[in-house]
Amino acid sequence: MPTLQSPGLATGLDVNSIVSQLMALEQRPLVRLAEREAEYQAEISALGSLKSTLSQLQSAVGILQETTTFQATKASSSDSDVLSASTNENTAVSSFSVVVNGLAQRHKLGSTEFNATDTFGGSASDGFTVAVGTENFSVDLSTARTLDEIRDAINAEENVTGVTAVVINGDAGKQTLVLTASETGYSDRIQVSYQGAITSTTLGLATINKDASGAPFASDTQLDAALTVEGVAVTRGSNSIDDVIDNVTLQVQGTGEARIDVTRDATKTSDGMEAFVAAYNKLRSELSGLSGTDFGGDSLLRAIESQVRSALNTRFSVGGSFAYIQEIGISTAESGDLQFASSTLTAAIEGDPEGLAALFTDSESGFAVTIDAVLERFLEPEGLIDSRVDGLNGQVASLETQRGALERRLESTEERLRAQFTALDQLVSQLQSTSSFLTQQLAGLPPILGVNT
């Protein structure tokens, strides 16, 4: 409600100040409502942060629930200049000897050497066709063309074979046309057929690939990689070979002999353990921070801490060599935080990898499924945290209703106070006016006899 323009003019009172002070007293309940709402909102925010931290812990637990976390392998080569290898989670621990006799090459055809001004073709049906597999592309020589022009015709967008052409400019103005396949191996070799007056001798195209010793290929079949794996001869059209040893990809780098050893790789398992420990310690830190607030004594916080810690100390009967997570390197420090010893994990992987995996991944009673069930009770929709947040939001909504009613009452109170002061001011004004009138009237009366004036 707007303030009076000239309040207290008749009375001399500072009406605006008086009303403001009276309303400050009246607004105390509104201040208490705001304080309570701030407390509820702080608790809602704390629960949101806590739920996020619990979700991060659940995600870390999820990694430990995956069998692939414990089945990782790695391959090492005795000579990476000859051969390297990669594995996956299904690769068996093993070792094997490989002799690389030749690498897969992209087929190259080189022409006879010609003068830069020499032309080829000129008759209506002259030309040749380049084919790779089932794809082919024709070069029209019905109009005579130089090697430069033939190169440009082969490199045209219409060429679907992937074959590219270059012209090598030698001494004395001599040129050589070189065609190169886009892929390695015999099955992707370049095949050329001729039309009209153009024959194989016109350009003299022939294979120019050489083996590791620098000798020209005796046959185009040498375009394939040639290996001997544990005495078994193998040829493949690519230097990346994934179909010789189950779940192993060989990457041929050079000729020679190398031994490939496939061993367990503790890296992914160790990373999973470290992520879990970090997520747990973050949760513990957050719970510790909340303990120093008004929210600290809440039963929900105590339930989270006690149930998660109980899961950490559970004995898991899943077979194998391990029944407690402490046996594989996760332990509790004096501070209460978890700590992780990678050396203990490495020993566990070397001693009983299947038992280690079962400790975490057993779908009935393993560590991951046990602690995940604990976390899910707090995180699930309409679970313990959501129910608490819903209750607090209900309290906030109730405060909003109370605030609205209180604000309307305060508006009425202020209007009433201002009306009362306005009426008082008007009454005083009227009394002052009456007083002035009476004073004037009395002053106009004749003097009373016997009274000195």
Q: 425 vs 261, which has greater pLDDT?
A: 261
Q: What is the pLDDT of residue 1?
A: 44
Residue 136 has pLDDT above 70, yes or no: yes
Average pLDDT (109-133) is 97
Q: What is the pLDDT of residue 389?
A: 73
Per-residue pLDDT tens for 19-70?
Answer: 667 666 666 776 777 767 777 777 878 888 888 999 999 999 999 999 989 9
Average pLDDT (347-357) is 91
Residue 288 has pLDDT above 90, yes or no: no
Residue 424 has pLDDT above 80, yes or no: no
DSSP state of 244: E
Residue 11 has pLDDT above 60, yes or no: no
Q: What is the pLDDT of residue 186?
A: 98
Lowest mean pLDDT among 99-113, 127-141, 212-226, 422-436: 422-436
Q: What is the pLDDT of residue 23?
A: 60
Q: What is the pLDDT of residue 394?
A: 76
In whole numbers, what is the pLDDT of the chain averaged over residues?
Answer: 87
Q: What is the pLDDT of residue 4?
A: 46
Q: What is the pLDDT of residue 27?
A: 65
Q: What is the pLDDT of residue 24?
A: 64
| 425-430: Cβ within 8 A, 24+ apart | 425/7, 425/8, 425/9, 425/10, 425/11, 425/13, 425/15, 426/10, 428/10, 428/11, 429/9, 429/10
CB 81 within 8 A of CB 304: no
Instruction: Return d(Cα 303, Cα 335) in angstroms, integer.
Output: 20
Tokens matching residue 132: 């790779």
- Ramachandran assignment for 4, one of left (phi > 0), alpha (psi -120 to 50 degrees), beta (any other): beta
Fold designation for 106-222: Alpha-Beta Plaits (3.30.70)
Please give the helix or strand (H or E) that residue 67 lies within, else none: none
Residue 333, class by beta-carbon neighbours within 10 Å (0-12 exposed, 13-18 middle, 19+ buried)? exposed
Lowest mean pLDDT among 3-7, 89-93, 109-113, 388-392: 3-7
Q: 439 vs 402, which has greater pLDDT?
A: 439
Percent of the chain whose pLDDT exceeds 90: 60
Average pLDDT (176-188) is 98
- Per DSSP, the chain holds a count of helices (H) and strands (E) of 10, 18
Instruction: Map out the domains of the chain as residue ranges.
Output: 1-72+265-426, 73-104+224-264, 106-222
Average pLDDT (169-190) is 96
Residue 294 has pLDDT above 50, yes or no: yes
Lowest mean pLDDT among 93-97, 230-234, 393-397: 393-397
Would the pTM count as exceeding 0.85? no
Average pLDDT (148-174) is 95
Inter-CA distances, 426 with 362, 417, 423, 431, Å: 88, 14, 5, 9
Residue partners of 177: CB distance under 8 A and separation at least 6: 110, 111, 147, 150, 151, 165, 166, 167, 203, 205
Residue with tokens 């991060």: 56
Ranges assigned E (strand) in 52-188: 73-77, 83-87, 94-102, 106-110, 114-115, 127-132, 135-140, 164-169, 174-184
Average pLDDT (198-218) is 96
Reference 113, options 66, 169, 165, 155; nearest CA is 169
* Confidence band for 429, pLDDT divided at 50, 70 and 90: low
Residue 179 has pLDDT above 60, yes or no: yes
* Confidence band for 431, pLDDT divided at 50, 70 and 90: confident
Residue 319 has pLDDT above 50, yes or no: yes
* Confidence band for 407, pLDDT divided at 50, 70 and 90: low
Residue 17, class by beta-carbon neighbours within 10 Å (0-12 exposed, 13-18 middle, 19+ buried)? exposed
Q: What is the pLDDT of residue 91?
A: 92
Residue 289 has pLDDT above 90, yes or no: no
Instruction: Return d(Cα 58, Cα 394) in angstroms, integer.
Output: 28
Per-residue pLDDT tens for 364-384?
Answer: 889 999 999 999 988 888 778
Q: What is the pLDDT of residue 50?
A: 86
